[in-house]
Amino acid sequence: MSNPRPLEEEVYDMSGARLALTLCVTKAREGSEADLDALERMFQQLGFESTMKRDPTAQQFQEELDNFQQAMDARDDPISCAFVVLMAHGLEGQLKGEDGQMVELENLFEVLNNKNCRALRAKPKVYIVQACRGEQRDPGETISGGDIVMITKDSPETIPTYTDILHVYSTVEGYISYRHDKEGSCFIQTLVDVFTERKGPILELLTEVTRRMAEAELVQEGKPRKVNPEIQSTLRKRLYLQ
């Protein structure tokens, strides 16, 4: 049997501008300011032009994403990467604006896809969502110590609408997310620690975030809880932030 060849490592070009938009509902979400401070520090260290907006209504979530897309498409300089951080109360597939109205996550994600945002076509788009995705709580489990045909053509060069996207959720579908009233959320704080202290492709960094969160013991209302993020990727290359 022949030896398998190692994967060729294709990497996203990160020499252009890096942009970040953070939309955060702080009302009735104690600890949000600690998360915003941590994210600002991370974006500064990683060389991002960072914009932060507090307490958007449901409509403003959509408007801010639209403005972000239009500003990028109006720029003359090349853009390498965009981060969008969304922090609010939520349900599966929805975020709650400051006005109590709901906005569909899918509508927010659509704005920057390869079809709708020319400046980010074939460029990595990273969405970080700190919000509940349901009502379930995970007490944890104890473990012991240990006929579809693909056609490839060289030309014309086209790209699927939904590639080059990375969704990072603070919790898995159907579950609640946790936040400390002073120290911020376990998810954002862990993610910032890993992204600022470690080097490697972003999916490996996120594996480390998941590992640390899986080891952490959260206590809510006197009961131990477990929580882990969920990562969905259509990235085509490795993404290095530093």
Question: Kind and range of the H or E element at 203?
Answer: helix 202-215
- Element containing residue 162 per DSSP (H, E): none
Mean pLDDT in order along the chain per 10 residues (242 residues): 82 97 91 94 98 97 98 97 95 91 96 96 96 61 46 61 93 59 82 97 96 80 76 96 92
Q: What is the pLDDT of residues 11-29, one digit of tens each?
A: 999 999 999 999 999 988 8
Residue 169's pLDDT is: 93
CA distance 52 to 23: 6
- Any idea which residues carry the catalytic annotation? 89, 132
Beta-strand pair 125-130/165-169: parallel
Output the six-digit token pair for 73: 């498409």
pLDDT for residue 139: 55
At 145 the pLDDT is: 44
Question: pTM of this prediction?
Answer: 0.86
Interacting residues of 218 by C-beta distance below 8 A, sequence separation 6+: 178, 186, 224, 225, 226, 227
Rg (CA), the chain: 19
- Residue 156: asked if its preceding bond is cis (omega within 30°), the reply is yes
Beta bridge partners of 231: 168
Q: What are phi and psi of 154, to 5 degrees?
A: -75, -30
pLDDT of the residue at 136: 63
The C-alpha atoms of residue 177 and residue 187 are separated, in whole angstroms, by 9
Residue 133 contacts residue 95 (beta carbons within 8 Å): no
DSSP line for 54-72: ES--HHHHHHHHHHHHHHH
Tell me if 211 sits within 8 A of 165, measured CB to CB. no
Q: Provide the angle, in degrees to the nearest 10, between the axes of the packed helices 32-45 and 186-197.
A: 20
* Contacting residues for 208 by C-beta, under 8 A, at least 6 apart: 194, 198
Instruction: Kindly list the structural domains of the chain, giving each domain's residue range(s) and its CATH number in brackets, ordered by start.
Output: 17-136+160-234 (3.40.50.1460)
**Angstrom distance (rounded) from CA 69 to CA 65:** 6
Q: What is the pLDDT of residue 135?
A: 59
What is the pLDDT, as a whole number, of residue 74? 98
Neighbours of 181 (CB within 10 A): 10
The per-residue pLDDT for 116 is: 96
Instruction: Quote the distance between the C-alpha of residue 54 and its chain's center.
Output: 18
